[in-house]
């Protein structure tokens, strides 16, 4: 400045400090304020007391004094009232000088530039975060798509086999329906589920055959209205068929009022004659109860049963589309003839059957009967009743076919 004329130096000082607040503090080694000047008010330092501790009056000095290294600069420090200064520290022999040089304007410019840079960076960070979320969502979508494709393939595979499975199930239903016609439903299901239909093949077996029909039915059918006849038959069948099923007899056939049942095939039965007699007694009791109602309506209907035991040929007979499971042999004919010969309420049995159920039932000998188709007469007995205490529960048969 010494080389400049006073007018120029003054002008230069005016231009430099026109919009800048410059202030200073002077602090001794005891940290007391020993001097202050300039635009102190601009920095909120208007009420300073010389001689008092400097740090208590200028809070920004906290921790900075005593200054070990000088000169020292703290750039761009925003103090009270929003004024920003570069703080220059240096010391001389008496103490430390602090110059507050206003850089508010420069700080504003730097702040605007930095703000743009940070805004841009934040935007990029958000974009990157958004991209990461999109990628994660995309990955999840791809995984879902793969799962869907797998499920679709599985579905296609199932569809492909569905027809075969439906055909197989239909076949099973058809077999079941066929077997149910001559077996108790539970037995039919058993055979179908086991898949063993070998029992339908022709074979020989010692069976107890039971025939039964109504007495006086033919006369009734001739005189009664068809609807009345059908109603009576419905009651009759609805009463007897469940009994047959509960005794696990094999229902061979029913024609009008005649029914044929046999035991010991296809399920083995330890005492087929006993079981047949028990069924016959239960049938007789049930039909007797029905007959009471029929008699009230003027119908004299009775009931007779014939039972025989012996070997028969069993198996599927008929033709494609109309098969039955049936028994053929003398034992069947004998049972049928005994049924024909039985009076109302009688259960006629052969001597073999009578021998087998002697402990079970009270029998009355009715002598030898002349049976059509047999060269010699046939001794027969009537089952009067089951002996007292022999009305035990029916034991389920062993569910194993031979």
Partner 1 sequence: MTTTVQKKICMLGGFSVGKTSLVKRFVQSIFSESYQTTVGVKIDKKTVTLGDKVVHLILWDLAGEDDMSSLRMSYLRGSAGYVLVADGTRPATLETALSLRRRVEADCGPLPFALLLNKYDLREQWAVSDGDLEALRGSGCRVRSSSARTGEGVEDAFTDLATRVTH
The residue ranges that bind partner 1 (CB under 8 A) are: 55-56, 59-60, 62-64, 72-79, 84, 107, 110-111, 114-115, 117-119, 121-122, 125, 129
CB of 165 to partner 1, least distance (A): 50
CB of 140 to partner 1, least distance (A): 18
With contact defined as beta carbons under 8 Å apart, do 401 and 267 qualify? yes
CB of 17 to partner 1, least distance (A): 21
CB of 84 to partner 1, least distance (A): 7
With contact defined as beta carbons under 8 Å apart, do 204 and 313 qualify? yes
How big is the CA angle at 275 (ends 272 and 280), to the nearest 5 degrees?
A: 125
CB of 15 to partner 1, least distance (A): 25
Quickly list H helices, 181-300: 185-194, 217-223, 226-246, 272-296
* CB < 8 Å & 24+ apart, contacts of 5-8: none
Nearer to partner 1, 29 or 125 (CB): 125
Nearer to partner 1, 114 or 223 (CB): 114
- Cα distances (angstroms) measured from residue 82 to each of 44, 54, 386: 10, 21, 120
Nearer to partner 1, 107 or 215 (CB): 107
CB of 8 to partner 1, least distance (A): 33
Cα-to-chain-centroid distance, residue 60: 74
Nearer to partner 1, 99 or 241 (CB): 99
Nearer to partner 1, 114 or 144 (CB): 114
Q: Could you tell me where the beta strands, DSSP code E, fall in 278-346?
A: 302-319, 322-328
How big is the CA angle at 238 (ends 234 and 240), to the nearest 5 degrees?
A: 120
CA distance 343 to 384: 12
The pair of three-digit structure tokens given for residue 14, joined into one six-digit string: 């005016």
Nearer to partner 1, 76 or 271 (CB): 76
């Amino acid at each position: 400045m010494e080389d400049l004329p006073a007018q120029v130096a003054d002008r230069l000082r005016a231009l430099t400090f026109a919009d800048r607040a410059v202030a200073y503090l002077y602090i001794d080694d005891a940290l007391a304020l020993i001097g202050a000047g300039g635009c102190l008010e601009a920095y909120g330092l208007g009420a300073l007391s010389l001689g008092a501790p400097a740090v208590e009056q200028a809070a920004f000095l906290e921790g900075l004094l005593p200054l070990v290294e000088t000169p020292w600069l703290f750039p761009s420090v925003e103090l009270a009232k929003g004024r920003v200064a570069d703080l220059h520290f240096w010391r001389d022999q008496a103490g430390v000088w602090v110059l507050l040089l206003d850089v508010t304007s420069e700080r504003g410019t730097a702040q605007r530039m930095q703000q743009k840079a940070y805004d841009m960076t934040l935007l990029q960070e958000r974009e990157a975060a958004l991209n990461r979320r999109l990628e994660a969502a995309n990955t999840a979508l791809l995984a879902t798509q793969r799962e869907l494709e797998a499920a679709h393939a599985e579905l296609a595979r199932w569809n492909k086999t569905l027809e075969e499975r439906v055909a197989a199930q239909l076949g099973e239903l058809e077999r079941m329906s066929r077997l149910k016609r001559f077996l108790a439903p539970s037995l039919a299901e058993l055979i179908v589920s086991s898949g063993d239909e070998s029992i339908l093949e022709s074979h020989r077996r010692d069976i107890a055959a039971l025939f039964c029909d109504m007495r006086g039915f033919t006369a009734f059918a001739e005189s009664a209205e068809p609807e009345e006849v059908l109603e009576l038959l419905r009651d009759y069948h609805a009463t007897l068929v469940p009994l047959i099923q509960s005794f696990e007899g094999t229902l061979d056939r029913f024609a009008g009022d005649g029914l044929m049942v046999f035991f010991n095939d296809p399920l083995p039965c330890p005492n087929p004659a006993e079981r047949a007699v028990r069924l016959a007694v239960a049938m007789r009791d049930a039909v007797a109860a029905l007959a009471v109602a029929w008699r009230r309506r003027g119908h004299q209907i009775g009931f007779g049963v014939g039972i025989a035991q012996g070997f028969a040929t069993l198996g599927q007979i008929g033709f494609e589309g109309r098969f039955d499971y049936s028994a053929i042999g003398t034992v069947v004919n004998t049972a049928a003839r005994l049924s024909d010969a039985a009076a109302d309420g009688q259960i006629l049995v052969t001597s073999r059957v009578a021998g087998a159920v002697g402990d079970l039932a009270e029998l009355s000998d009715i002598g030898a009967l002349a049976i059509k188709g047999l060269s010699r007469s046939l001794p027969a007995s009537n089952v009067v009743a089951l002996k007292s205490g022999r009305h035990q529960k029916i034991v389920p048969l062993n569910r194993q076919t031979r």
